[in-house]
Chain A
Amino acid sequence: MPSSPPSVSAHVKPSRAWLSVGLGVLFVGVVLFELTSALLSTLRTPSWRHYQQAGALLRQSFVAGDLITSAPPFIDPLVREQVGDLMPIAMLGRPDAQRYPHLLEIALGAHQAKDTVGLTPDWQRRIGPLRVSRYSQRSLTVTYDLVEHFHDLALSQRLVTAGSDALPTPCRWQGQPERACPSDLYLPVGAYHCASGRIERRTLELAYAPRYGIAVELDADRETALRWENIPQSAWEGAQLHLWLALHDYYARKNARGPAVVQVDLDGGLLRKEITLTPTNGETRVEHLVLALPPAANDRPLHTIAISARADSAPHHIVGLQGALRR
C-alpha cells in the first residue's frame, strides 16, 4: 500500500508560529546566499581580456630592474602569461623584494602581495576585477650575491668519519655549461660533482615556493663545504650577510629522516653560526639568517664566506641556499 505520512514530523508538537516562519526564512536566506555567492564568484572572475589589458598597462610602466608581483599567489601563472617575458627566474625566485626600488603589482580584488604590504601606491588603476599598482620603496643595495658568484666557489667534500684531519676532496664540474639561452639545449645543465652528491645552481623549491639558488646534495658521513673567497672589501664594508636556507624538494623532504646541519664561518673563524634544518620546518618556512659582518682589518683586503653542510641521516637531504651581502 502507498505510504502514510512520513515520520519526521509525526511526533513534533505544534509550536509557535515564529519558529516555522523563522526556519523558513533562514532556509530561503541560505538558498539566496548560495546562489548570490555563485553569481558574485562569476562576476569577480577576471577574463583573459582583463589580464591582457592589465599586462599591457603594466608593460607601459615597466623599467628594467622593477619587480613584478601578483596577489593572490594563485593568479601568478595568469600574470606571467601576459608579462612573463619581463619576469626572469631570478625575479620569481627572489628571497624577498628588498633589492627592488619599484614594484608593479597585478592584484585580484582587494588582495595585496606581501611584497607591497605597508607601501603606498604611486598610482593605481582598476581593470575589471583586477587592480594594477605601482609602488616605490627604499631598496637595499646588494654588494655581493652568493648565487651570482656560483662559479667563483671553491667546493669540496670531507669524509667526517675519517677524523678531523681528513683532507677535503674538491668537487668538479661535469656536464653542459650553464647557458643564458637553453632553447637549443635538450640536455640537463651540468653541476659540480663531489665524491658523493652534487652541487648545482637552479630554481629550488623551498617551502613550495620558487627560490633561485644553490642546491647542495648531502650524503651521510660527508661534510660538503662551499667557500666564497676573495670577496672585496668594498662589498664587505658596512654590509650584513643575509642567508636563506631550507631543505629543497618536497619528495626529498618526505623521505628525509633527521636534520641537516649548516655551519657558516666568516673570515676563517671570526664569526661562526650553526643552523639546523629539519624536513618538517622545510615544509612551511625558509630560515632567514642575518649576520653582522666582523669588522674589516686593514691587513685583510679580501674576505671569505664558508658554508658547510652535513646530515648524519642522509640521503634525501638537499640543502637549498640563497645569500647576499646587503647594505
Chain B
Amino acid sequence: MSAPLLTPSTAQDARILSSAPSTRRVITRRDRLLAALLVLCTTLLLQVASRTQGFTRDEGFYFQAAEYHAHYLEDSLSGVFSGHPLAFANRALVDRWHSFNSEHPPLMKTLFGISWRLLHRCTCPKEPGLHPLAYPTPHRTLGLLSQAQAMRLPAHVLTGFLVAGLYLFGALTLGRYVGLLAALFTLFQPRVLFHSQLSCFDAPVTAMIFLTTLSYLYASLPTSRSTEWRRAVLFSFVLALAFLTKLNAFFLPPILLVHSLWLRRAVLRSALADRGADRRQGIRRWLLPPWALCAATLTPLFYVLGWPHLWFDTLQRFNTYAAFHLHHVHYNLEYLGTNYNRPPYPWHYVPVMTLLTQPVVVLFLAVVALSVWLAEARKTADSVEASSDRRGARVLILLGIAWPMLLIMRPGTPIFGAEKHWMPATPFLALLAAAGLFFLMKRLQQQFAAHALGARAIPLVLAVLALLPPVVETARSHPYGLSHYNALAGGPQGGAELGMNRQFWGYAVRGVLPTLNTYARHGAVIYFHDANWPALQMYMKEGVLRRDLRDSGLEEPGVVSSELGLVIHERHFNKYEYWLWDAYGKTQPLAVATHYGVPVATLYARPPRTQCPIAP
C-alpha cells in the first residue's frame, strides 16, 4: 500500500484519516545510494553524449549570460575581500552583469557560469573575440572539462536529479520497480535526452517541476509537527528554485493546491460538521496546509532574493519579464505539412506530437495503466476514503501529465518550441507507463506462479523488453533529436513525409562544419543562417569550427556577400535556400548533412569565376 498523502495536522485529522494505510513507505539508505548512482550515471551519459551535440541558438545567449553571471559573483567576492561586503548589492554591479537576457530568470545561467568558471580548461587569453569579455590572463580553474562541457554540466546534473527523483517518487508511492523504470523511461526518451544535453532551461525546468512535485509529496507525508514544517520550508525553497529556472513553473502551485484540497476534502467535511471557532480553524487548515502557507510567504522572498535583477524596481522589472512571455513572438512551426506562425494553433498539435515522439512502448504501457486505474476508480468509487492515498498519487501523476499539455493546447498559446514546452509532462507519463508495466508484470507473475523460476524472471525480462526500444530509439536519435520521430510516424523519414517539424534552434550546422573547414579558403566569409554568433564562437573554442572564418551577416545581404552559405532545413527556411541559389547562380550543394536520409543542413559554395554555372 502506498503512503498516505494526507497530513494529519491534528488528532482530529488523524481520526478522519484512520482508514489510511498503516504501512508507510520510507526512503531507505539503499534507495539513497541508488538515487545517487542514477545521478552519477545520468550525468556521465549526458557528458559523453553532448560532446557530439551541436550548439543551439539559445545556448549561445546563455553562454554569454553565464560568463556575465560568473563575473558578477567574482566581483561580489572581490568586494568581500576588499572590505566591501555589500558590493554584491550595488545596483550598478547588478545591472551591469544581470541586465543581459533578463527575460529569463537567473538560476541556470548562474549555475552554467559557476560550472564554467570552476571547471573549464582555460585558454581564454588566446581566444580574443570569442568571449563576451576580454580575459588578458588565464583563469585559475580545476581544468577538468572543455568550456562547452563545463557550461552544460549543470543541466546534466539536474537531469540526474530528475532521474533520481523519479526513482524516489516511485519508492514513495507506486513502488521501487515502478520508480526505477520511470527513471529510465524518462532518460531514454529521445527528445528529453536531446534537451538534457543543452545549456538551456527546458530540461532543468522539467526536473525542477518534478522535484517540486516530489517535495510536495514529501511535505504531505504524515510526520511530526516540527518535521512537517521543516519539509514545508524545504518545499517553498524548491518551488522558488523552480521559479528561478523558468516561467512555466508558475503554473504548478495552483495544480498542487487543487490536488491537495481534493485529496483532503475529508478535512473540509469534518470542519463543516463543526461549529464556531473549530469550524473556521478547520476550514483554514483545509485551505492552507503548512506547505502552502510556506509557499505563499517564503517562496516569493526566496525568489526575489535569488534574482538580483529584481532587487531594484522590483514590480516594474517583474512586469517586464512577465510581459515578454505574455506577448511572446509567434515563431514558425511545421505541423502536418502546414507552417504555423500565428494563432489559432490546432489544439491537437500537442497530443499528436506526443504520439509521434514518445517511444511507442511507453505510450502502450501508459494506456494500459490508465485503463486499469480508470477501471479501479469506477469499482472503488463508493469507498473514497479507503482508496484516497493510492488515488491521490495517481491523480497527482495524471495532473502532472495533463497540465503542461493543456496549457499549450490552448489555441492562443504561442507554439515556438515544440514538445519542450510540455516536456514537464514526460516524467509523469513515464511513471504512468512504468505502472502499466508493473501491472502487466503482476498479472503474468500470477499466471505463472507455478513456475518459480519463470515468475522470478518475469520482472527482469519485462523491464529489459520495455527498455530496449526507448534505448535503441534514443541512441538512433543522437545528435539530431529534434528530427527524430517514432515508429508510429515511420521514423525520421516518416516524420519528414508527414510534414512534421524537422528541427529548430540551428544546431544541425555542426553536421556540415567538417566540410566547411576543409573547403573554405583562409578568412572566407560564410553565411551561417540560423546559427548565431555566440554559438559559432563556442564551436570555434571547441575546435569544431576554424577560427579564421568570418560571418557574412544576416538575411539576404549576408547571403549575397558570402562565399559559402548554409541552410538549415525547416519549412519556413526554404526561402533562404532560394536566396543562396540566386546569389550563387547554382542549385548544387557542396554537402548535405542528414539524419537517417532526411536532410538537416545543406552547405553551398559560390562557384569560382572560371566555372560559370547554368544560368536561370
Q: Which residues of B contact A258 (CB under 8 A)?
A: none
Number of interface residues of A (CB under 8 A): 76
Instruction: Given A38-B476, A45-B597, A182-B583, answer yes or no on A11-B575 (Cβ-Cβ < 8 Å).
Output: no
Measured CA separation A296–B460 after assembly (Å) = 84
Measured CA separation A27–B584 after assembly (Å) = 54
Contact string against B for A residues 149-169, beta-carbon threshold 8 Å, 1 for contact and 0 otherwise: 000000000000000000000
CB distance from B99 to the nearest CB of A (A): 29
Residues B497 and A254 in contact, CB atoms below 8 Å apart: no
The winner among A28, A254, A284 for most chain B CB atoms within 10 A is: A254
Q: Which residues of A contact B338 (CB under 8 A)?
A: 283-284
Q: Which residues of B contact A77 (CB under 8 A)?
A: 569, 589, 592, 599, 602
Q: Which residues of B contact A86 (CB under 8 A)?
A: 614
**A184 at interface, CB cutoff 8 A:** yes
**B551 at interface, CB cutoff 8 A:** no
Of A10, A80, A254, the residue contacting B588 (CB under 8 A) is A80
Find residues 175-197 in chain A having any chain B CB closer than 8 Å to their own CB: 179-184, 186-189
Find residues 345-385 in chain B having any chain A CB closer than 8 Å to their own CB: 359-361, 364-365, 368-369, 372-373, 376, 379-380
**B435 at interface, CB cutoff 8 A:** yes
Interface size class for chain B? Answer: 35 or more
Measured CA separation A80–B338 after assembly (Å) = 24
Q: What are 9 residue pairs bridging A and B, where the CB atoms are less than 8 Å apart in the complex?
A: A3-B25, A6-B2, A8-B369, A23-B443, A41-B596, A84-B586, A87-B587, A88-B615, A181-B612
Q: Which residues of B contact A27 (CB under 8 A)?
A: 361, 364-365, 440, 462, 465-466
Instruction: Given A7-B174, A24-B440, A85-B613, answer yes or no on A80-B560 (Cβ-Cβ < 8 Å).
Output: no
8 new A-B pairs (CB below 8 Å) besides A7-B174, A7-B393, A41-B491? Answer: A9-B439, A11-B379, A35-B472, A38-B469, A38-B473, A45-B597, A85-B586, A283-B338
Q: Which residues of B contact A270 (CB under 8 A)?
A: none
CB distance from B176 to the nearest CB of A (A): 7
Closest to B556 in A: A188
Q: Which residues of B contact A80 (CB under 8 A)?
A: 587-589
Residues B589 and A31 in contact, CB atoms below 8 Å apart: no
**A105 at interface, CB cutoff 8 A:** no
Measured CA separation A108–B596 after assembly (Å) = 13
Residues B372 and A8 in contact, CB atoms below 8 Å apart: yes
Residues A254 and B342 in contact, CB atoms below 8 Å apart: yes
Find residues 60-90 in chain A having any chain B CB closer than 8 Å to their own CB: 72, 74-75, 77-78, 80-81, 83-90
Closest to B472 in A: A38
Q: Which residues of A contact B387 (CB under 8 A)?
A: 11
CB distance from B441 to the nearest CB of A (A): 8
Of A14, A30, A202, A254, the residue contacting B582 (CB under 8 A) is A202
Residues A12 and B560 in contact, CB atoms below 8 Å apart: no
CB distance from A5 to the nearest CB of B (A): 7
Instruction: Given A81-B592, A203-B578, answer yes or no on A254-B341 (Cβ-Cβ < 8 Å).
Output: yes
Residues B584 and A249 in contact, CB atoms below 8 Å apart: no
Residues B616 and A250 in contact, CB atoms below 8 Å apart: no
Residues B560 and A85 in contact, CB atoms below 8 Å apart: no
**A46 at interface, CB cutoff 8 A:** yes
Residues A45 and B560 in contact, CB atoms below 8 Å apart: no
Residues B598 and A74 in contact, CB atoms below 8 Å apart: yes
Contact string against A for B residues 485-521, beta-carbon threshold 8 Å, 1 for contact and 0 otherwise: 0110011110011000000000000000000000000
**A20 at interface, CB cutoff 8 A:** yes
Of B435, B440, B493, B606, the residue contacting A23 (CB under 8 A) is B440
Measured CA separation A96–B514 after assembly (Å) = 37
CB distance from A175 to the nearest CB of B (A): 11
Of B341, B438, B465, B606, the residue contacting A28 (CB under 8 A) is B465
Closest to B442 in A: A9
